[in-house]
Amino acid sequence: MTNPLLQTFDTSPFSQLKNEHFLPAIQELIEKTKEEITKITHTSEKPTFQNTVEALERTGVQLDRVTSIFFNLNSAETNDEIQQIAQQVSPLLSEFKNDLLLNEALFKRVKEVFDTKEALTLTPEQQMLLEKQYKGFSRNGANLSEEKKKMLRQIDTELSKLTLKFGENVLAETNAFEMHLTNEADLEGLPEDAKEAAAQTASEKGKEGWVITLDYPSYIPFMKYASNRELRKKLSVAFGAKAFQQNPFNNEKNVLEIVNLRHKRAQLLGYKSHAHFVLEERMAQTPEKVHSFLNQLLEKVKPAAKAEFNELEAYAKKLDGIDQLQKWDSAYYAEKLKQERFHLDDEKLKPYFPLPQVIAGVFMVAEKLYGLQFKEVHTIDKYHPDVKTYEIVDNEGALVSIFYADFHPRPGKRGGAWMTSFKPQQIKDGKNDRPHISIVCNFTKPTTNKPSLLTFNEVTTLFHEFGHALHGMLANTTYPSLSGTNVYWDFVELPSQVLENWCYEKETLELFAKHYETGELIPMELVQKIKESATFHEGMQTLRQLSFGMLDMAWHTNELPEAIASVKEFEDAGFKGTQLFPDTPETCMSTSFSHIFQGGYSAGYYSYKWAEVLDADAFEYFKQEGIFNKIVATKFKEFVLSQGGTEDPMKLYIKFRGQEPNPDALLKRAGLIEVT
C-alpha cells in the first residue's frame, strides 16, 4: 500500500487519506527524524551553528506536517477511529519529543554552541533560535539525572493521554445532549432563523419538532431569546455540567491528575509551580506579575460589574418579578435591556451579515491594509465539502499563502473557533516557502431559505480568527519554529484581537454590511448603535474573563495539588472574588475548561486580557492616523505580523508603536474610565 503521507506533497492530500495511513506514517517519520538527528550527533566535526542548531531546526519537516494534518482532523473532522489512533499516536510523539530533548549527545553539541555564542556573528533571528533550542533542552530535563529523566518521560506520556481524554469527554458530552421540543410554545421569543435551524437539526436527527443542542449557534440564541425560563435553566445546566456528571465522560479525575502531574513536572525541573515554569517564556514572566495585572484590572472593573449586575437584576424584577437573577437569566434580560436602551436587536443586524459578504469584507480589509488579493480555487484537496480553499497573492501576483476556511458545526467537530497551519513558512536554500493556513469556526449553517446569517458576535469571531491567519500568512522568517504564530502566548492574541476593532468602524462596515435580500447598506444609525452598545455590560464581561484567568492561575500556582479533594470546591474558592451569580451546584466549569486542560492556555488564560491591552493601544495608533493608513499598516506588518518569534515581543511592539502599551487604552475603550 502506498501511503500518501510518506510521499512528497505540497498541499495536504486529504482526498487520498484513510485513517489507517496515520499510525504507520507517523511511526516511520519518527524513525526517519531520529536518523536525521543521529547524523547531527555522530559527525566528527566540531559543533557550529550551521551543523548543529540549524541542522536540528531542519529535521522532522514531514513529521511536523503529518501530525498537524492529523491533529486538526481530530479537532475538525473526528470519529471514534481517529480518536483511538490519537490515543496511540500521542504517547509515541511524547516519547519521541522526550528522546529528542533528553538526548545527551545532542544537548552537549547545542550547549557547546550556546556557550560560545558571544564569539559568533549571528543575526538576531539566529540568536533567538539558539536561545530557544538551548532553553528547549534545559527546560525539558536535559540537565536532570537519568532517574529523573525517566520520571519526566512517564509524566509526559501520561499527560498527553489525559489531555486527549479530557477533550474527547467534552466533545462526547456536547454531542450527547439534545433538548427535543415538540410544542411550538416552548420556542416563544426565539427568532425565526433560530427556529428554522432547530427544525433542520431535528429533521437531520429523524425527529419531529425542534432540537436544541449545546453547539454555540444553537445554544446562544436559545439562552438569549427564549422566554421559557425553565427550559433556559435546563439548557444552561446541561452546558455547565459537561463532563461533571456521574457517567463515563466525567473529567473530575482527569482535571486533578493533569494539575498534579503538571506540578510534579515543574518541581522536577526546579520550578516552584507549573505557572512559574510556563511564565518564564511569556511577556508576563512571573505568576506575581500576572496576579498583579489581573488584580489591578479587577479593582477597576468590579464596581462597574456590580452596578451592571444590580441594574440587570432590578430590570428582571420589574419585567417579570424575578427576585434572584440566575446564570440562565443573564443573556436573556441583558438582550432585552440592550434592545430597550439601544433599540439594537442582533436579529435585525443579521440580514446585513450573510457569511459570504463578511468573508468578502475581511478580505477587503486585508487588501486595503496589506495589499493582499484572494482567489477561491476548487482544485485544492479538502477534508470536508464545507471547507473553502483560496490562493492569496500580493500586488505583484506572488503567492503569499494557501488558505483553508471551515465555517459550520457538524458532528465530529469540536466547538469554538481556531486557526491552525498545515505547512509553515520558512526560507531555505534561498527560497521563501509560503505557508498553508486554516481557520475553523462554528457559524450557523445556511438553511433551505436563507444563507448563513451571522450575529455581530460571529462577525467579530471571524475577524479574530482571520487576524491569527494573517499572522501566519504574512510570516517572513528564515526558521519555521520562529515563524508566524510561534510567539509568546501572551503576544499571540494581538494580531487577532486588534483586527476585531475594524468591525465597529463605519469605513469597514460600508465595505460589506449589505442586506442579503435588498442589497441595502447597513443604516448608519445601526452602525452608531453598534459602536455605542460595544461597551454594554463591559464590566460584567471583563469580570468574567478575569474570573477565568484567576481560576487558571489558582489551578497552576497551587503548591499542594495532591491535597485538592474536590474540583468543584476548589473552583468555587477560585471564583470567590469575582462571583456575581448564585452558584449552581450541579455545574462546574473546570471539567470542560478545554483552553487550559486540553489547549495550550494553562497558566496563560490571562493572556487574552494582556493582549487586549496591546490591541487597544495599537488600534488607538491606527485611529489617530486613519484605520486604513498604509504607513501604520506597513509598520504593523513589518514589526509584528511578519516577524513571528524572531525577537522579544515587547521590542517588536515598541518598534511598531514607538512606546510601551498604555493599559488605560483598554479601560477607555471599554468605557470603564473617563476619556480625558
Per-residue pLDDT of 449-504, as tens digits, reads: 899 999 999 999 999 999 999 999 999 999 999 999 999 988 999 999 999 999 99
Percent of the chain with pLDDT over 70: 99
What cell does 621 get? 495608533
Residue 247 belongs to a domain = no
Residue 91 belongs to a domain = yes
What cell does 207 get? 425527529
Contact 392, 374 (CB under 8 A): yes
What cell does 141 get? 530535563
Does 531 have pLDDT greater than 90? no
Residue 198 and residue 66 share a domain: no
What's the domain range around 283? 252-333+546-605
Task: Select from 561, 584, 605 the last residue of a domain.
Answer: 605
Give CA–CA dist 246/571, Å, rounded.
18
pLDDT band at 1 (very low <50, low <70, confident <90, very high): low
Selected catalytic residue, list 77, 313, 347, 465: 465
Residue 302 and residue 427 share a domain: no
DSSP output for 470-522 = HHHHT---S-GGGSTT-S-TTTTTHHHHHHHGGGG-HHHHHHH-B-TTT-PBP
Residue 393 parent element (H or E): strand 388-393
Predicted pLDDT at 673: 76
The C-alpha torsion from 214 through 215 and 217 to 218, rounded to 10°, is -30
Predicted pLDDT at 447: 85
| Tens of pLDDT, residues 131-178 | 999 999 999 899 899 999 999 999 999 999 999 999 999 999 999 999
Mean pLDDT for all residues in the chain: 95
Residue 492 and residue 619 share a domain: yes
Residue 31 burial (CB count, 10 A):
11
Give CA–CA dist 281/272, Å, rounded.
15
Residue 614 and residue 573 share a domain: no
pLDDT band at 303 (very low <50, low <70, confident <90, very high): very high
Residue 225 and residue 80 share a domain: no
Residue 344 belongs to a domain = no
* Number of residues that make up the chain: 676
Which residue spans within 85-194 are E strands per DSSP?
A: 179-181
Domain at 301, CATH number: 1.10.1370.10
Contact 62, 35 (CB under 8 A): no
Least confident of 395-409, 417-431, 516-530, 547-561: 516-530
Does the CA dihedral 629-635-638-639 come out positive or negative? Answer: negative
Residue 137 and residue 14 share a domain: yes
Predicted pLDDT at 415: 86
Q: Which residue has the higher pLDDT, 300 or 400?
A: 400
Tell me the average pLDDT across 582-591: 97
Residue 464 and residue 388 share a domain: yes
Does the CA dihedral 111-117-121-123 come out positive or negative? Answer: positive
Residue 522 belongs to a domain = yes
Report the DSSP beta bridge partners of residue 388. Answer: 405
Does 675 have pLDDT greater than 70? no
Strand 399-406 versus strand 436-440 pairing type: parallel
Residue 370 and residue 435 share a domain: yes
- Examine the residue annotation and report whether 465 is marked as an active-site residue of this protein: yes
What cell does 115 get? 556557550
pLDDT band at 346 (very low <50, low <70, confident <90, very high): confident
Q: Maximum Cα–Cα distance for the chain, whole Å?
A: 82
Predicted pLDDT at 119: 95
Give CA–CA dist 203/239, Å, rounded.
23
Residue 176 burial (CB count, 10 A):
14
Does 89 have pLDDT greater than 60? yes
Residue 132 belongs to a domain = yes
Percent of the chain with pLDDT over 90: 90
Does 676 have pLDDT greater than 70? no
Tell me the average pLDDT across 547-551: 98
| Tens of pLDDT, residues 220-255 | 999 999 999 999 999 999 999 999 999 999 999 999
Residue type, 278: V
Residue 152 belongs to a domain = no
| Tens of pLDDT, residues 94-136 | 999 989 988 999 999 999 999 999 999 999 999 999 999 999 9
Report the DSSP beta bridge partners of residue 420. Answer: 438
Tell me the average pLDDT across 414-435: 95
